[in-house]
Amino acid sequence: MAQTLTYLTPEWRDEAEKRLKEELSPEKMNRITSSMSNIYLKCPDGKERYLLFRFADGALAELALGEGEPPEAEFRISGDYEVFAKISRAELGAQKALMTGKLRLKGNMMKALKLAAVADRLNKVLAKIPAQY
């Protein structure tokens, strides 16, 4: 796919879902059952958005994109749009962003640290999507 998609649009979400399902087997995802909401603050258009990931036994069960208050999730990660954009472009590691306070986590920190490698796999797939930020 050579087409460049605009980050956090329905078209980008659809491509992200397709790639995540193709590239991340339940085994690669350690058969996790969990949910995570990324909350994007200070988006270029002034809105707040969320990207919700739900995994069931390692398979992507849901990838939801929306505005405003996100659905309930085991983990809520919030930060500025630009921080998430750097993570999605593979310019910044999610763990480093959390440890340096660029992202804020609500949820079980011990479980989150165990899932860090899984989140990195997810971000590596998203980084391959040709996107305009």
Domain count, the chain: 1
Distance CA 62, CA 50 (A): 13
pLDDT of amino acid 2? 59
Domain limits for position 34: 5-132
Is 68:89 a contact under the CB 8 Å cutoff? Answer: no
pLDDT digits over 36-93, tens only?
999 999 999 999 999 999 999 999 999 999 999 999 999 999 999 999 999 988 899 8
pLDDT of amino acid 72? 94
Is residue 94 very low, low, confident or very high in pLDDT (cuts 50, 70, 90)?
confident
The upper half-sphere exposure of residue 107, i.e. CA atoms within 13 Å in the direction of its Cβ, equals 22
Looking at this protein, which amino acid is placed at residue 88? S
∠ at Cα 120 (117, 124), nearest 5°?
145
Q: Is the pTM of this model over 0.85?
A: yes
**Tokens (6 digits) for 118:** 């899984």
Output the domain CATH number for residue 76. 3.30.1050.10
Element (H, E) at 88: helix 81-88
* Top-confidence residue, 43 or 2: 43
For residues 101-107, give the mean pLDDT.
Answer: 95
